[in-house]
Structure 1
Amino acid sequence: MNPERRDRLRDAAIEVLAAAGGRGLTHRAVDAEAGVPAGTAKNYYPTREALLAGAAERCLERYHEARRAAAAPPGDREGLVALLRSLLADVAGPGRARLLAYLELQAEAARRPWLSTVLDPIAAADFAAFEAAQRAAGLPVTPERAAAVTLAMHAAIPHLLAGGPATLAAAGLDDLDAFVRGVLESAYPAG
């Protein structure tokens, strides 16, 4: 198998999931998105389950790429605010397709538990990384506080992707800086 073509197909599967959802993920749609001859995706991923697994594995790889490209660990609370704000801003930017695909894959995993094993490392890594970032910022971290911050960040993602102005305003997501500061203040009151 050609690794470049495999990655092209998996990236195309992510784009299809982001644009058309789980029901739109077909071999034909992936071939069209990747700009390859009909039947190519089927040769690499013979079943829809294999195609889902390929997309999930690519989401995990792209997640790790984004993590490596992220800023250095924050040295203080303000550094942590900047880091978390930039992660949320990425949702509507370069990370949009990957995150939409990831949410579609999570919905599929609710019906196909085998897919959860492929996706689980992404969320698990987030909990560990966010806890480490909170420690690096000098906050009085407990597992419960760190998890609360991580869950708040995760909960913001679907709302940022949907972009409903009333929902964003109600959740405080229309001002990412204030949102992040509020989450941190809730978990780690200044004082």
Structure 2
Amino acid sequence: MAFVRNQDRRQRLQDAAIEVLAGQGGRGLTHRAVDTAADVPPGTAKNYFPTRQAVLRAVAERCVELYGEVPRPVPADRETLAALMGALLADGAGPGRTRLLAYQELQAEAARLPWLADLVDGIAAADFAAFEQAQRAAGLPVTPARATAVTLALHAALPHLLARAPRTMAATGLDDPRQFARDLLDAVYGPDEPLAR
């Protein structure tokens, strides 16, 4: 039973570290800040994650876990795919915002820390395969270049959604994530291309 409690506390600390990283950035990610966010006695985070590198690793591992929990239904057609993509973008601007902000901070840290780049790379790499499969399932005439363009466009949209900059959102169409997804598919596949056979 003690193991379960320790695992629960470890996850609580990881979730608190995600909140700190999302809210305060990399410089604000300290053991003390994590203890405060998790509402645990001082020194608890350091006991679980002795170094800053260990805290970053714990955040990355938890982000990977949370990413794996995001539901990804298989789209039956183009409109369902657009709805799915729009919902994922809306989640990034809404309930998933803290996780995505932390992930963006991890990517910035990863630019200087190769070991961290290996951890966060798994999330992005999985997206390319998942979105290619989703485009195939929706009946689109997928090529590797088209699948990559769609995934890269979705990734590029995230910082703008997180910043919530109204003029940029309006200029890019991100103020309506579902329509943005439809427009993206139209730009990559053309509005009237026949379905793949």
TM above 0.5: yes
Residue of structure 1 in register with 2:36 after alignment? 32
Counterpart amino acid of residue 76 in structure 2 = G
Q: By how many angstroms is 1:186 displaced?
A: 1.2
Preserved contact between residue 87 and residue 178 of structure 2 (Cα < 8 Å): no
Q: 2:13 aligns with which of 2, 6, 9?
A: 9
- Residues 25-174 of structure 1 aligned to structure 2 (within 5 Å): 25-66=29-70, 69-70=71-72, 72-174=73-175
RMSD: 0.9
Give aligned pairs, total: 188
Residue of structure 2 in register with 1:20 after alignment? 24
Superposition misfits of 4+ residues, deviation over 3 angstroms: none
Q: By how many angstroms is 1:171 displaced?
A: 1.1
Unpaired runs of at least 5, structure 2: 193-197
Residue of structure 2 in register with 1:176 after alignment? 177
Residue of structure 1 in register with 2:195 after alignment? none
Counterpart amino acid of residue 25 in structure 1 = L
Q: By how many angstroms is 1:170 displaced?
A: 1.3
Counterpart amino acid of residue 117 in structure 2 = S
Secondary structure of 2:111 counterpart: helix
- Identical amino acids, percent of aligned pairs: 67
Q: By how many angstroms is 1:92 displaced?
A: 1.7
